[in-house]
Amino acid sequence: MMIKKEKNQKIEALFLAIKWTYKGSPLLTIGIFLISIFGGLLAIVEPYLFKIIIDKLISQRDVQGFALSILAILFIYGITRFLQSSFWDITNGIRKTHAMRIEREATHALMKNISSLDIGYFEDPKYYNLLVQANQNLWRIFETFYQITFFLNEFISAGIIIAALAVYDIRLVFIILIGSIPSVILSLKTSDALWSAFTEGSPIFKQVHYYRNLLTEKKEAIKEIQLFGANKTFLNRYYNLFSQFLSLQDKAVKKQVAGYLLIGLLEGVTSVLAAYLVVQAFVINKITVGELTFLWALLFQFAGHARWLTRMINDTYTNVTFLKPIVPILHFKPLILEPVHPKLFPKEIKKGIEFRNVSFTYPRTKKIALKNVSFTINAKESTALVGENGSGKTTIIKLFCRFYDVTEGEILIDGINIKEFALADLRNNIGVIFQDFVKYESTVEENIRLHGKGNVHESAKKSGAWNFIKEFEKKYNTQLGRTLEELGVELSGGEWQKIALARAFYKNASILIL
């Protein structure tokens, strides 16, 4: 059952890659397919022209007629070479311009889906690993499509060669296929082995990425790391973890190399046998010198096409295998369900907020975060939640915003269970400043006017942010942070907190949680 599920995910991942590629640019996608097909058809033209030339050279009688026919053949040969060269250049040009379009389409689709997921997915290690894997391998969508087009080109070329060989001697076809099929089977097994190493090492690589980010991108962490001299500790952890990940991959690669050595030996034996049959046919005058060179060239070409086909199958299968995590993510269902018949959020809260016998345990954990909690906050009343670290204050806020649903009990606003409000309606009426509020790299105004229906200036004055905003030359158009713009302004922790507070005021929500 598990094997069937994985197979279906690979097929769906392949169709996703093609779908997003086509949506990136239908014209370029169709164009590259047509070029691949036509380019594959030209594979046999060159060796066949040389066959004709050689046979004419040997059997020439009419000098004038011979010269004209040779010129005609060379003209066709020139056109063929021009087309082959042009197709290659055009393909590379399309590849470059198409790549960014595919990235835009695929990334946008994945971002749209992931950004709408419930917070429970991000806080669950199992699902978060899938999200990390999907983001790490999104680039493979572009590679998958172009490997398919290369495969199509090589497949058509190989098919024409097989057809030509079959006309002369069907035994040649069986011999070269016997030498090629095992390498395809091995490549598929190798891809599964590499994927197994990747999934086994995914939690390790997640830690690797964390330490790399900590030492190279988190500027707020650099001060403390340098002060405590922790850089050597984190560098050692990074190096050791990465080494563990590489050892898992090395095992898979060693198996791959051993298998390819055996297959290379088999391909060598079958190639010699096929060449022997061609030479034997010439010796007994069954074929001409031109046909000898033609068949010999086809055997040589087929060996090259077979290697490329195997490589394309292997790479495509590998990429599709590594794209599997995207499939379940696109099928993730909301953990927090919308009410079938939602009630309107009260325009003015009259009674207040009530937590009634609320208990909660986070998914995939046994520790109870809240147990039988009850309290009431009256309308137009300010209340402080006080407690030790880990006592459940943040959990209460998450439950109130319906990032999670209570395990037991209920949360009421004016006597109505919050599960009866539409999620957007509930959250539009709640303004929150979390401990880990986001410092957006954008202008002051964009930071404040993130969502809501308030007044930017009044919100800034109310939060105290205007006291330092008025000192900026561009006021609300001032860029905050220097990650995106070198001339951006760096704020202190307290100033950022006032920007976040202004953002909450701007939302003009019925309920404000600070």
Residue-wise pLDDT for 268-308, tens only, equals: 788 788 888 888 888 888 888 888 888 888 888 887 787 78
Taking alpha carbons only, the member of 386, 389, 411, 382 closest to residue 398 is 411
CA angle at residue 118 from 436 to 346, to 5 degrees? 85
Confidence check: pLDDT of 200 > 60: no
How do strand 430-432 and strand 511-513 relate by DSSP bridges?
A: parallel
Q: Name the token pair of 303.
A: 């060996």
Q: Please, which pLDDT band fits residue 412 given cuts at 50, 70 and 90?
A: very high
Cα dihedral 259, 262, 265, 269 sign: negative
| Span 81-85, average pLDDT | 78
Q: How many Å apart are CA 337 and CA 372, to the nearest integer? A: 23
Say if pTM beats, i.e. exceeds, 0.85: no
Confidence check: pLDDT of 62 > 70: no
Q: How many Å apart are CA 76 and CA 212, to the nearest integer? A: 57
- pLDDT at residue number 453: 75
Confidence check: pLDDT of 108 > 70: yes
Q: Please, which pLDDT band fits residue 3 given cuts at 50, 70 and 90?
A: very low
| Span 317-330, average pLDDT | 83
- pLDDT at residue number 359: 93
Q: Please, which pLDDT band fits residue 202 given cuts at 50, 70 and 90?
A: low
| Span 373-399, average pLDDT | 86
Q: Name the token pair of 362.
A: 């986070």
Alpha-helical runs (H) found in 42-139: 45-59, 63-115, 119-123, 125-136
Helix, strand and coil content of the chain, in percent to the nearest 5, comes to 70, 10, 25
More reliable by pLDDT, 467 or 242? 467
CA angle at residue 174 from 168 to 175, to 5 degrees? 95
- pLDDT at residue number 356: 93
Residue 212 near residue 228, CB atoms below 8 Å: no
Q: How many Å apart are CA 157 and CA 304, to the nearest integer? A: 10
Lowest mean pLDDT of 21-25, 39-43, 132-136, 245-249, name the range. 245-249
Residue 488 near residue 461, CB atoms below 8 Å: no
| Span 300-328, average pLDDT | 81
Q: How many Å apart are CA 336 and CA 118, to the nearest integer? A: 7
Confidence check: pLDDT of 197 > 60: no
Instruction: Identify the structural domains of the chain with CATH numbers, from first to last.
Output: 2-330 (1.20.1560.10), 352-427 (3.40.50.300), 444-513 (no CATH)
- pLDDT at residue number 81: 77
Q: Name the token pair of 10.
A: 């690979």
- pLDDT at residue number 250: 74
Q: How many Å apart are CA 252 and CA 169, to the nearest integer? A: 40
Residue 426 near residue 418, CB atoms below 8 Å: yes
Q: Please, which pLDDT band fits residue 147 given cuts at 50, 70 and 90?
A: confident
- CA 31 vs CA 151, 160, 489: distances in Å: 16, 22, 47
| Span 356-365, average pLDDT | 89
Q: How many Å apart are CA 176 and CA 272, to the nearest integer? A: 10
The DSSP code for 432 is E
- pLDDT at residue number 1: 42
Q: What does the pLDDT look like over 332-355, one tens digit per residue?
A: 888 888 888 999 998 888 889 999
Q: Among all chains, which residue has been given the structure tokens 């034997």?
A: 280
Q: How many Å apart are CA 185 and CA 130, to the nearest integer? A: 28
Confidence check: pLDDT of 2 > 50: no
- pLDDT at residue number 419: 93
- φ and ψ at residue 409, rounded to 5 degrees: 85, -165
Q: Among all chains, which residue has been given the structure tokens 């076809």?
A: 173
Conformational region of residue 120, where left means phi above 0, alpha means psi within -120 to 50, and beta covers everything else = alpha
Cα dihedral 159, 160, 163, 169 sign: negative
Q: What does the pLDDT look like over 216-271, one tens digit per residue?
A: 767 667 767 776 677 788 788 888 888 877 777 777 677 667 666 777 777 778 87
More reliable by pLDDT, 197 or 30? 30
Q: What does the pLDDT look like over 417-455, one tens digit per residue?
A: 999 999 889 988 888 888 878 888 888 888 888 777 778
- pLDDT at residue number 408: 92
DSSP 165-205: HHHH-HHHHHHHHHHHHHHHHHHHHHHHHHHHHHHHHHHHH
Lowest mean pLDDT of 58-67, 121-130, 249-258, 363-372, name the range. 58-67
How many residues are listed for the chain in this entry? Answer: 514
- pLDDT at residue number 201: 53
Q: How many Å apart are CA 381 and CA 269, to the nearest integer? A: 87
Q: Is 461 exposed, middle or buried (0-12, 13-18, 19+ CB in 10 A)?
A: middle
Q: What does the pLDDT look like over 363-382, one tens digit per residue?
A: 888 888 889 999 998 988 88
Residue 140 near residue 323, CB atoms below 8 Å: yes
Q: Name the token pair of 51.
A: 């066959």
Q: In what order do the strands lie in the sheet with 408-413?
A: 368-378, 352-361, 408-413, 416-417
DSSP 330-378: HTPPPSSPPPSSPBPPPSS-SSEEEEEEEEEE-TT--SEEEEEEEEEEE
Q: Among all chains, which residue has been given the structure tokens 């960014």?
A: 100
Q: Among all chains, which residue has been given the structure tokens 């990747």?
A: 198
Mean pLDDT of all residues belonging to the chain: 81
